[in-house]
A and B are shown apart, each in its own frame.
Chain A
């Protein structure tokens, strides 16, 4: 008996054992391509803005999708799938920051975002970059998820693993600081 003939049975057994879930790989190549086209840019933007490292965002975006496809995810439609994807990406970011060899995210220049902005927007983009640089990584995550992606406090709790009750206060503090930085031109 070849490995190839065993594997589908093993995978089928796995999926059957988890009631209410199914492997994301049940998504065929074309379905995945469509989902990827709709979600990859916003996932990359989240990773790039929170990590302030576009190169890292490239790597983590790919890894997030591979893990998404390998995982047994809840089948509640595209909104839940996107949320699950952001959760995977958030965990990848956390793992990256925990690794001792990774460089400090505060040492990474913001220049790439400002350099690519149009003339009309370059000043506001640069100001946002400066303000984001002053924020702690967790605050950047919360702010981006709440105000750029429009996730509710409950959804942010699901994505970040933080207690739902603490999200409101954490977001309030982060938003107040961010607003002050933006009014001051991004300077602390």
Chain B
């Protein structure tokens, strides 16, 4: 037996919770409780807390059950929407990232062919007039950089709108 238990505590506890203490109990238990510190503590504390419970359960002004039920339905619905939306946002970001990678890969692999085509472009569309004369030697770069920047910008805007929608 541990120092903080009494062999009659379980029996006493059952009688206390069933409401049989103190009237419907054997006399020897009364005698025991009078001389046992553990059991007298148990009787005192259980009696006080049970009385407090009987008093306290009368106090609350409870919200109607229907209001709580509908609030829970709303929260479940919002949670479900969020759950459905999460993979969609993930897929959008993934698609944008993949598009950027593909564009970059194509740009790198085709750089040689495009540089020839791009170098002809300013002459074809008379864009040379727009490029400062000092920079005209790097005209290919002047076309590629804005194109890549525009693609990146569009991707960013797409990702932003995807997150806003979420």
Known: A3-B81, A7-B77, A183-B44. A66 touches B71 (CB 8 A): yes
Q: How far is the CA of A147 from the CA of B41 in the complex (A)?
A: 11
Residue among B4, B40, B50, B61 facing the most chain A CB atoms (10 A cut-off)? B4
Neighbouring A residues of B56 by C-beta, 8 Å: 44-45, 48-49, 113
Interface size, A (range): 35 or more
**Segment with Cβ contacts to A, from B28-36, B62-70, B94-102, B112-120:** B62-70
**Does B80 touch A at the CB level, under 8 Å?**
yes
Contact in complex: A29, B69 (CB < 8 Å): yes
Q: Give the contacts of A107-160 with B (CB-CB under 8 A).
A: 112-113, 116-117, 121, 124-125, 127-128, 131, 143-144, 147-150
**Does A169 touch B at the CB level, under 8 Å?**
yes
Interface size, chain B (Cβ < 8 Å):
41
Minimum CB distance partner of A24 in chain B: B72
Q: Give the contacts of B26-85 with A (CB-CB under 8 A).
A: 38, 40-42, 44-46, 48-53, 55-63, 65-66, 68-69, 71-73, 75-77, 79-81, 83-84
**Does B5 touch A at the CB level, under 8 Å?**
yes
Contact in complex: A169, B48 (CB < 8 Å): no
**Does B8 touch A at the CB level, under 8 Å?**
no
Q: Nearest-CB distance from A132 to chain B (Å)? A: 8
Neighbouring B residues of A128 by C-beta, 8 Å: 48-49, 51-52
Contact of B59 among A6, A48, A173 (CB under 8 A): A48
Contact in complex: A66, B49 (CB < 8 Å): no
Residues of B near any A CB (own CB < 8 A): 2, 4-5, 17, 38, 40-42, 44-46, 48-53, 55-63, 65-66, 68-69, 71-73, 75-77, 79-81, 83-84
A-B contact pairs, 8 of them (CB 8 A): A29-B65, A37-B65, A58-B61, A70-B75, A116-B55, A128-B52, A147-B50, A176-B41
9 smallest CB-CB distances across A and B, nearest first, come from A69-B72, A172-B4, A179-B41, A45-B56, A33-B65, A41-B57, A36-B65, A148-B49, A148-B53
Q: A69-B69, A116-B58, A117-B55 are in contact. List 4 more A-B contacts (CB 8 A).
A: A3-B84, A10-B80, A57-B60, A70-B79
